[in-house]
């Protein structure tokens, strides 16, 4: 089974980080003792540009959860369709050939889910198997690849599709000027990504398109549920973001990776590239430090962070797209795709090019 392709899609509104910082500073300055703190925090997020689903001046009108969630549904369907069409086109696969679709998001809710609404827009088979995933947050991109790979392992003649749409700007909270919310508003961006996973007996896999998925590993860290997540309040999603996130990464990632590789008769020196979720400067630094990676080892992840921000579940998929298009591994070499997120937990995917 192989990661055959990735397609990404972004809202048309794109802003430099200082423009977003100034707009939110003006919006919230009467609620903050030191409004300049917001500007300093935004400058330290490692983000140069971000996409937003609406023009920046439109957000004050989204004054309740009903409004923001309704807009999330509309935009998620549109962006999701764009990302899916690009992924299918890159792989040379038709919608009618997809056997299962997995949908991951943590920035809105819908029933029927976004994947169901897309089946009414695109000619997927009516007996397609659907698996909506909510609540995994940043880890859901890697976890979604794992679950889609599980599916095509069981059904090797089929293709599975993973879609993630994250519209983080719709979670901005006007009544929360906590450090956690300010960092969140400075770090997360809007975007979508879709991935085609090809079963081993499909034509795409037989052509050797994309890296093989050799194994996956989920790891749950007990009693860490307050490290990251959401509190659901009347106005929507209120961020839970502990300063301990980099510490949790640094303390656990190395052991997770080494144990995973040992079970596959590999060592860290066998891994040529690490395809990591762009969680933010401190998270990427913790990943680098934990694994003793050389300077530049996570350059595509840093680049994605600068150019579009942290896209939550979609981030690692956007980084994967960069590897497929610009940094493919040499035949026979190994990569690890990884993300971490709420619970707290990690997801590792072992790839071979």
What is the band of 252 on the pLDDT scale with cuts at 50, 70, 90? Answer: very high
What is the phi-psi region of residue 51: left when phi exceeds 0, alpha when psi lies from -120 to 50, beta otherwise? beta
User: What pLDDT, on a 0 to 100 scale, did the predictor assign at position 33?
Assistant: 85
Instruction: Indicate whether 80 pLDDT > 90.
Output: yes
Q: What is the mean pLDDT of residues 46-67?
A: 96
HSE of 87, CA atoms in CB hemisphere, 13 A: 34
3 state SS of 117: helix
How far is Cα 217 from Cα 338, in angstroms, rounded to an integer?
Answer: 10
What is the per-residue pLDDT across 45-54, written as a single tens digit (0 to 9) for each? Answer: 999 999 999 9
What is the per-residue pLDDT across 320-338, written as a single tens digit (0 to 9) for each? Answer: 999 999 999 999 999 999 9
Q: What is the mean pLDDT of residues 180-206?
A: 97
* Active site amino acids: 138
Give the Å distances, CA to CA, from 116 to 111, 121, 173.
9, 9, 29
Listed range (27-36, 88-97, 199-208) with the worst mean pLDDT: 27-36
Set out the domains of the chain in order of their start, with CATH numbers: 2-206 (3.40.47.10), 212-352 (3.40.47.10)
Share of the chain above pLDDT 90, in %: 97
How far is Cα 291 from Cα 337, in angstroms, rounded to an integer?
Answer: 14
What is the model's pTM?
Answer: 0.96
Instruction: Indicate whether 91 pLDDT > 90.
Output: yes
Instruction: Indicate whether 297 pLDDT > 90.
Output: yes
Instruction: Indicate whether 345 pLDDT > 90.
Output: yes
What is the per-residue pLDDT across 21-42, written as a single tens digit (0 to 9) for each? Answer: 999 999 998 888 888 899 999 9
Contacts of 102 (CB under 8 A, 6+ apart): 115, 131, 132, 133, 144, 147, 148, 151, 160, 161, 162, 163
User: What pLDDT, on a 0 to 100 scale, did the predictor assign at position 24?
Assistant: 96
Contact 183, 309 (CB under 8 A): no
User: What pLDDT, on a 0 to 100 scale, did the predictor assign at position 35?
Assistant: 86
User: What pLDDT, on a 0 to 100 scale, did the predictor assign at position 94?
Assistant: 97
User: What pLDDT, on a 0 to 100 scale, did the predictor assign at position 270?
Assistant: 97
3 state SS of 93: coil
């Amino acid at each position: 089974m192989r990661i055959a392709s990735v397609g990404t899609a972004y809202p048309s509104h794109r802003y430099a980080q200082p423009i977003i910082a100034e707009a939110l500073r003006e919006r919230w300055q009467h609620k903050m003792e030191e409004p300049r703190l917001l500007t300093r925090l935004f400058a330290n997020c490692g983000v140069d540009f971000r996409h937003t689903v609406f023009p920046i001046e439109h957000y004050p009108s989204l004054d309740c959860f009903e409004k923001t969630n309704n807009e999330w549904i509309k935009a998620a369907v549109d962006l999701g369709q764009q990302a899916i069409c690009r992924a299918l086109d890159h792989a040379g696969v038709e919608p009618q050939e997809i056997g299962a679709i997995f949908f991951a998001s943590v920035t809105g809710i819908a029933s029927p889910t976004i994947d169901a609404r897309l089946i009414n827009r695109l000619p997927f088979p009516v007996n397609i198997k659907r698996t909506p995933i909510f609540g995994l947050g940043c880890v859901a991109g890697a976890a979604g690849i794992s679950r889609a790979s599980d599916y095509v392992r069981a059904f090797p003649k089929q293709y599975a599709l993973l879609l993630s749409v994250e519209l983080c700007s719709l979670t901005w909270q006007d009544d929360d000027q906590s450090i956690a919310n300010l960092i969140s508003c400075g770090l997360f961006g809007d975007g979508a990504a879709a991935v085609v996973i090809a079963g081993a007996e499909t034509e795409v896999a037989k052509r050797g398109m994309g890296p093989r998925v050799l194994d996956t590993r989920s790891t749950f860290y007990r009693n860490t549920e307050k490290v990251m997540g959401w509190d659901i309040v009347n106005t929507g999603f209120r961020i839970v973001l502990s300063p301990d996130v980099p510490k949790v990464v640094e303390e656990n990632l190395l052991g997770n990776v080494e144990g995973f590789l040992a079970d596959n008769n590999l060592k860290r020196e066998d891994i040529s590239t690490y395809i990591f979720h762009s969680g933010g400067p401190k998270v990427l630094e913790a990943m680098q430090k934990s694994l003793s990676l050389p300077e530049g080892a996570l350059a595509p992840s840093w680049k994605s962070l600068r150019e579009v921000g942290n896209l939550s579940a979609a981030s690692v998929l956007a980084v994967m797209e960069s590897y497929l298009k610009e940094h493919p591994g040499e035949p026979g070499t190994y990569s690890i795709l990884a993300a971490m997120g709420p619970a707290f937990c990690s997801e590792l995917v072992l790839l071979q090019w």
